[in-house]
Amino acid sequence: MTRDTPAVCKAVAAVLLCAALAGCPGGGPETGPSTPAARPTESLQTILSHAENTFRDGDYLEAQMAYEQAVQIDPDQSRATVNLATCYLKNRLVKKAQDLLEQFLARHPDDPAARLVQARTLMRVGDLGAAAQALRQVLRTNPDLVMAHYNLGFVAYRSRLYEEAEVHLKRACELKPDLPDAFYTLGLTYLALKRYPESIASLEQAVRVDPRHVGARFNLVNAYARAGRMKEAEKQQAVYADLSGHSKAQKEKDTQIKASSVKAIRFMLDKKYPEALQEYQALSARFPDDASIYSQIGQILIILSRREEAFAALQKATTLDPKLSDPHYLLSGLYRERGDAQAAERELTTFAALETIPEGKSGY
């Protein structure tokens, strides 16, 4: 695998957790915590330290308020601006993220981290042309950034610019050969171009990396059939049917968990962390194989300074679902506290790869 340059790694680190949560992008008036007035007795460094700690712990509401104080004091702080925009996205305040980044980039047009988050906000509201322009600008100064290549390839595919999509998706595959969605979207691009052997090769690689990739299995059926390889198409159809059944069952379970999590979420919003922990632990007894519950438990345990228990919960989350990104990020912080820089970097790299997948995906 090609390694990112130090400058690129710095840019990736600056846009941690920039993928948006599910929800209706940009729909209706947005509400959230009002910007607190910066207290002159507090130094910028103190505020930033608090913001970084709460951001690392996954407390995005608290981090948002602290970063708002920081950018009031110094609006040209790149990392604070990027992480504040990320908090806005996490807290579903898309318009606030857009406005913040537009103002910052008017003064610092070549900041790659801010451009990346701007591209994600533009993708969130469906402005693919502007998102592509932002990503191309990033690649002019960071030509080997996998996040930019994958997302630009995805945007080009969605915009039916298949030749451009091929260029960037192939580069993403070269830079990150264990990223299944890059091969998947490249396979869809070749399928659209009626280049069936190349489509089959890319989709087959996607399922080699992720055997449970439902979309890749579905489109392999199509690609095999179009290439006249009916036996392989029938075999893939059977695999797809099995995975699809599991997928539907998972969606039903997710709906149950969401309905059962209302009380826990309310406790989190009220910062009643022991009570929230109790609720999530009760949920884990009901749904012992759900990774997202253990991720929430790990986050709360970090906030409560129960690091060892948090570490175990987050490891269980990544074991249950290796594609869930947030626990990898939280684990990277715990490893760094332990002095294990290699493990911290491994978790951060895994997180960054998972976060390249844009919201909305291409479907199948």
> E strands, 63-138, where?
none
120, amino acid identity:
R
Q: Is 17 a residue whose pLDDT tops 60?
A: no
Tens-digit pLDDT profile for residues 98-133: 999 999 999 999 898 899 999 989 988 889 999 999
pLDDT of residue 126: 87
* pLDDT value, residue 247: 55
Q: Please report the pLDDT score of residue 88 as a whole number.
A: 92
pLDDT value at residue 356? 55
Q: Name the residue ranges covered by the structural domains of the chain.
A: 1-144, 169-258, 261-354
pLDDT of amino acid 178: 86
Report residue 9's pLDDT band, with 50, 70 and 90 as the boundaries: very low
CA distances from 23 to 64, 93, 179 (A): 19, 11, 25
Measured from the Cβ of residue 104, the count of other Cβ atoms closer than 10 Å reads 24
Kindly report, residue by residue over 192-240, the tens digit of the pLDDT: 999 999 999 999 999 999 888 888 989 999 999 999 999 998 998 888 8
Percent of the chain with pLDDT over 90: 49
- CA–CA separation, 305 vs 297, rounded Å? 12
Span 167-186, pLDDT tens digits: 999 999 999 898 889 999 99
Q: Which residues contact 110 (CB under 8 A, 6 or more apart)?
A: 137, 141
Q: Alpha carbon of 141 to those of 7, 106, 197, 292: distances in Å? A: 10, 17, 34, 36
CATH 3.40.50.300 fits 261-354, yes or no: no
Is a pLDDT exceeding 60 seen at residue 28?
no
What average pLDDT does this structure show over 289-294? 90
The amino acid that residue 179 corresponds to is L
Confidence (pTM): 0.68
- The confidence band for 59, taking pLDDT boundaries of 50, 70 and 90, is confident
Fold of 169-258: 1.25.40
CA dihedral 313, 90, 340, 295 (to 10 degrees): 10
**In the structure, what pLDDT confidence band is assigned to residue 1 with cuts at 50, 70 and 90?**
very low
Is 261-354 in the same CATH topology as 1-144? yes
What integer is the mean pLDDT of 239-261?
A: 73
- In this prediction, residue 250 carries a pLDDT of 64
**Better-scored residue on pLDDT, 212 or 363:** 212
Work out the average pLDDT over 329-347: 89
| Stretch 42-48: mean pLDDT | 85
Among the CATH numbers 3.40.50.720, 1.25.40.10, 1.10.3720.10, 2.40.50.100, which is that of 1-144? 1.25.40.10
Task: Determine the pLDDT at residue 249.
Answer: 62
Q: Map tokens 């290796």 to a residue.
A: 322
Tell me whether residue 121 is exposed, middle or buried, using C-beta atoms within 10 angstroms of its C-beta: 0 to 12, 13 to 18, 19 or more.
buried
The pLDDT score that the predictor gives to residue 289 is: 87
| 138-152, 251-265, 287-301: segment of lowest average pLDDT | 251-265
Greater model confidence, 107 or 61: 107
Instruction: Average the pLDDT over 282-306 and give the result.
Output: 91
